[in-house]
Amino acid sequence: MEQTTQRVAVVTGGSGGIGGAVARRLAADGMAVVVHYAGSAGRAEEVVASITRAGGTAVALPGDVADEAPMTALFDETERRFGGIDVVVNTAGIMLLAPVAEMDLDAFDRMHRVNVRGAFVVAQLAARRLRAGGALVNFSTSVIRLQQPTYAAYAATKGAVEAMTLILARELRGRDITVNAVAPGPTATPLFLDGKSEELIGHIAAAAPLERLGTPEDIAESVAFLAGPGGRWINGQVLYANGGIA
């Protein structure tokens, strides 16, 4: 086992736009970072390489977030390499949109498997493994407040994540572990921008009082606050990181 005095973070979905930004931001704070991925090994390795080039410590590890066996193996490997786990950030998720009347139920089940069961599996492991002084940061969405058509099934998954987040914060009484969620608004990731016209993107950006889209780095700053020393008195909360859009 490689001994280290560094804090150690696991970022699920670390190969994604927001997940990668979170991984790089936590590494900039001096944490050793495990960049989790499911199907995007190349992008995860790019995140690791960018962290390493900046003088940080990172490794990419795979796993299906909804399957407890590979995720247990990921947590085991993290502890073997770095000696423990201090921060878990659960950005992994998928978004499939359709009106309620038209939603394909197989798609509904697939999204709930990743977003709800996956979040629960990771939260369960975090609850068992996080060291004192640790933090779990889950991901919700500002759509819960915005109530936009076609987002019902997706928002339902994130409503479930908020519920488990708030309850777990209270279940971990006495452990000195915080549990919170970040709820981003529209954020300029490739996934968000894909298929949208410039006109639509401009309309969405104008909805916020700050008149722009969020960036992955904006969201990563919120996570870094909750995971760092400045966020130790924030517990059992949902932080809406959306520029005032809702």
Q: Which residues pair with 36 in a beta bridge?
A: 61
Phi, psi values for residue 130, rounded to 5°: -60, 140
3-state helix, strand, coil in the chain (%, to 5): 50, 20, 35
Per the CB < 8 A criterion, the answer to whether 208 and 42 are in contact is: no
Q: How far apart are CA 14 and CA 238, in angstroms?
A: 21
**Residues 6+ away with beta carbon under 8 Å from 239:** 180, 181, 182, 183, 222, 226
Q: Strand 85-90 relative to strand 57-62: parallel, antiparallel, unpaired?
A: unpaired
C-alpha to C-alpha distances, 49 to 35, 53, 76, nearest whole angstrom: 11, 6, 23
Is residue 154 among the annotated active site residues? Answer: yes
What's the distance, CA 139 to chain centroid?
A: 5
Q: How far apart are CA 214 and CA 211, in angstroms?
A: 10
Q: Which of 37, 151, 154, 240 is catalytic?
A: 154
Q: How far apart are CA 165 and CA 162, in angstroms?
A: 5
Reference 157, options 145, 141, 169, 181; nearest CA is 141
- What SS3 state is found at 138? strand
Phi, psi values for residue 150, rounded to 5°: 80, -10
User: Which residues are part of the catalytic machinery?
Assistant: 154
